[in-house]
Amino acid sequence: MTSTDSKIKTGDSIKSKNDLPPMYKVILHNDDYTTMEFVVEILLTVFGKSLEKATQIMLNVHHKGKEICGIYPREIAETKVETVHHLASSKGFPLKSTMEKE
């Protein structure tokens, strides 16, 4: 199978991509108030990124305005977005996180 095939082998059966649950991108958005250190902390704790990867994503958020932090099934993506908003709010930051279908 090539990487462009739309079928994925799982055990003894083959499922098409359409049989898999839809995935959602979780995105962080830049603002003028949330500190870079807090964004890195979110990426480390909520998204399980390494310090190097978290720093890279944070810089992309800062310079490009937004960046994908991960791709998850809908329920997990929703939980990550809610967690980011809760932690940011508890620290007084307006950090925005959204999700969009992949």
Instruction: Domains for the chain: give ranges and CATH numbers.
Output: 32-101 (3.30.1390.10)
* Dihedral class, residue 92 (left if φ above 0, else alpha if ψ from -120 to 50, else beta): left
- Tell me the C-alpha distance between 31 and 71, whole Å: 22
Per-residue pLDDT band for 1 (boundaries 50, 70, 90) equals: very low
pTM over 0.75: yes
Number of H helices, E strands in the chain: 3, 5
Tell me the pLDDT tens digit for each residue of 51-70: 999 999 999 999 999 999 99
Tokens of 71: 């791709």
Q: What interhelical angle do 36-45 and 74-90 show, nearest 10? A: 140
* Amino acid (one-letter) located at 83: T
